[in-house]
Structure 1
Amino acid sequence: MLKLFLNLFSSEAKPTQTAIVKSDVSKWEAQIAQADTFWEQGKISEAVAIYDLAIEQHPHLPEIKQRLAGQMKHQIDLAIAYQKLAISLKKHGQIEQAANYYRQAINLKALTGNSKNQLLGSHVAPVKNRRFLLLA
């Protein structure tokens, strides 16, 4: 009995634990790499679905949520840049170009908002009848 107990805590048990941890790490890293690829291709919904799956399967790994949060911050920064460009174009009378950048900013903010809700796990109801006006 003592021999069995000692065998459980011997160094022979550690490689198995290490192999499980390495397998777990490589699995979530592969998921995140795939999600990052989708994100770069503009397939935000697909990327978020993979991030969600990785978070669900590996809730003990904060790195996954951190990566998703980083991607969202980049999207928010890009949306703000588009909005500022649109404002500048509008001031210079380039209304059609400004409208295009406003649309891009709105789309990015909508995608980021959906991702944020999924990241936080909240169930925020979308605002109905929201209208965006372009004032000339």
Structure 2
Amino acid sequence: MASALAPAFLVWILLLFLEKDSARNVAILVFLFALVFACVLGVPTAWWLRRKGWFRLHWMALAGAAVGYVPILIASIPRDRPGVSSSVNGVDLMVDGKVTPAAWLHWPMDPWPFALAGFIGAIAFYGVYRAIARDMPTAPVQGPQ
């Protein structure tokens, strides 16, 4: 839950600072999106890191950024769309339905907010996990007999 709340809280604070009226609604969407990502991709990744013995803050933060970045990067691959033209800041990304080289250069930059949300969420997850694990008694693990 903390891994979804942390990015949503930061987005909410940022939008309040920028005086956006939609701050609450956007924060709720960020929370729901981050919650799905945390459950579907984040928890299995944390489990894998723990199993490999790599459950450290820096690996969790890097994995969280990757979990946020890579799926959005894949989902946003530029595709030809007949009859569509688009541009960003005067740079043509698509002309008459054909993707331009500028679109391919711009494409890896689009998902960085998701990487940042994953990074923050992973740090929150790691912190909560460590706080809870510190209070739990540890039992010796016994192998098959």
TM over 0.5: no
Greater per-residue strand proportion: 2
What TM-score does the superposition give when structure 2 sets the normalisation length? 0.28
Which has the larger share of helix?
A: 1
